[in-house]
Structure 1
């Protein structure tokens, strides 16, 4: 699918851009050292390169496993009737995971961006004279809406156009169905919904991948064993449930095997890849250098706007305002409980990560 390839080109470009920007610091190490800010009191007691390296390898393995389990679980259970996309249990699990994604944007990514772009290591003018994080997050949310809208329009135009092997039949309710040569009948409405699910899955993964690389990079570049130790458990929880949310979207998108497992691979590998990248760049990458703070802060703000939009509009809004939950008040109430549990649990993780 052409749009899928374009999405992954964007992901690759974003990762390469981040890598190039950070490696370029090697050419100006003296400047980075001169502008580096102190880590604060008490940080030296936790700084241990040997111990932190061991913890990083543990983090790579555990986060990779948690990511793979989380995103693959909905795909492996698709043949279990009780866990099908049309079942109540699937709706509740998806609501829980959507709450996790929402809290990730508001409680983890957005505050990180505020911290980076308001750092005392950056010049007061303009960084503390204007709320760049909120502005960039707003633009990111609007840009996500544009991508969402244009992708839907393009996909509908491409997939719903008349074809020679499609026979249109007008039903009593005025809707039109298309019958292909193999005899399967798919309504325009169902096909539009399928396109919608595919766009949601791709855009959501883009936001998650950007954030995952950034947080992995920060962990890989850190020598603070205390921070890394607490991050391992928090990130495993985060990747597990965020992966379940993404996996549910991939399942609903009904991708073929190749596309499905490509998305699983990208989600699973990005945080460990970020950790490895941070370890490789540790000698030249200073988390408190102006360049790093600006790049990471801007990427976090973009990711926050995207995740918040996707969680509220494409995941929670679409489900809670859809016919299934609107027609079942009991299920709707249970879904709200699941959302608050997911968001609350992920918010609690902000204490450690």
Structure 2
């Protein structure tokens, strides 16, 4: 039930964002400067349709590669190569938050199109990003605590029920051991407790990370789809394709470690792959009336980009990098540690370089 509620809440956030963006941007009730658009809309449309296919394919491939770990030994979570792949992907996500999203949020909320009071008198971008990071921390801790209580109480109940049943059949108290029965109970095995705790943590991380990525994906997709300049759309298409591929690798690695059932894994991967193309489609639909400099469009984009950057920066530093780089396996292997550091720098560097076009 809690998982369904969690996913339902996530879906409602995304659809609410899309709905609000459409309503507010279409209204365009305050235009700053010249509201007319320069460009060839029919030619740009060809590139936009190509962008939908390219971004969809890149995102799908990126998120799928880590999920192939069951078939490819090199991509299994316990493998050394997987550590370096995750470090690279974490660098991508960190650069996405710092280099791509946060500057866009600053530009939106400090635009001259907005009133000086209150937007010019308080650093709303940093404040919203900070609050989003704190909110992510709260969700992280509360959800982890709740999941642990639910799962461990179930494990203890199963253990008690099985031992009671054995007592009824044998007529005497039976000492329950793992060697005798070949399976572990949450109440009796510390290693099982640790393993379950790690699994719960990975599931929460993957879900919260996907939320942060999807919020940004909708906005950037709408921005590309609403553009009428082929000169803007072409470089954006290439940059977004790489962007989606690398982000997909990061998310796919987290989903792989979370060990969801096949259906949930597929749904999460599809949701990630389809969100940016959906945003592009929405942008195409509203391109004729879209005004990126309207007051409400700037405020909505700025606030959601700020929140998204706060979520991604927190997730990259705390849940991905800190968790892996403080792992005993990594700290006891100098070569693996060096490889992970290089991969991190490469991931952050590649994503930072793409900021030249996107």
CA distance in 2 between partners of 1:157 and 1:105 (Å):
33
Question: Which of 216, 221, 224 is the matching residue for 1:211?
Answer: 216
Structure 1: give runs of 5+ residues left out of the alignment: 170-176
Match status 1:276 vs 2:281: yes
2:158 maps to which residue? 165
Structure 2: give runs of 5+ residues left out of the alignment: 164-175, 185-190
Match status 1:36 vs 2:45: no
Question: Which of 64, 74, 80 is the matching residue for 1:72?
Answer: 64
Contact 1:100 1:242 in 2 (8 A): yes
- Bigger CA drift: 256-265 or 320-329? 320-329
Q: Aligned in 2, Cα 1:83/1:119: closer, same or farther, shift over 3 Å?
A: same
CA distance in 2 between partners of 1:26 and 1:103 (Å):
28
Contact 1:56 1:275 in 2 (8 A): yes
Alignment of 1:83-98 (within 5 A): 83-98=75-90
Question: Which of 302, 305, 312 is the matching residue for 1:307?
Answer: 312
The TM-score normalised by the length of structure 2 is 0.89
Alignment of 1:1-353 (within 5 A): 2-25=1-24, 28=27, 31-32=29-30, 35-38=31-34, 44=38, 47-161=39-153, 162-166=155-159, 183-185=182-184, 187-353=192-358
Q: Aligned in 2, Cα 1:178/1:280: closer, same or farther, shift over 3 Å?
A: farther
Larger Rg: 2
SS of 2:158's equivalent in the other structure is coil
Contact 1:325 1:332 in 2 (8 A): yes
CA distance in 2 between partners of 1:225 and 1:137 (Å):
32
The alpha carbon displacement at 1:277 in A equals 1.0
The alpha carbon displacement at 1:14 in A equals 2.2
CA RMSD for the aligned pairs? 2.3
CA distance in 1 between partners of 2:349 and 2:157 (Å):
52
Count of aligned residue pairs for this structure pair: 337
- Bigger CA drift: 77-86 or 136-145? 77-86
Contact 1:106 1:304 in 2 (8 A): yes
The TM-score normalised by the length of structure 1 is 0.90
Q: Aligned in 2, Cα 1:27/1:137: closer, same or farther, shift over 3 Å?
A: closer
Contact 1:36 1:286 in 2 (8 A): no
The alpha carbon displacement at 1:28 in A equals 4.4
CA distance in 1 between partners of 2:246 and 2:273 (Å):
12
Q: Aligned in 2, Cα 1:222/1:324: closer, same or farther, shift over 3 Å?
A: same
The alpha carbon displacement at 1:178 in A equals 9.8
1:174 maps to which residue? none
Q: Aligned in 2, Cα 1:3/1:182: closer, same or farther, shift over 3 Å?
A: farther
- Bigger CA drift: 90-99 or 9-18? 9-18
SS of 1:166's equivalent in the other structure is helix
SS of 2:292's equivalent in the other structure is coil
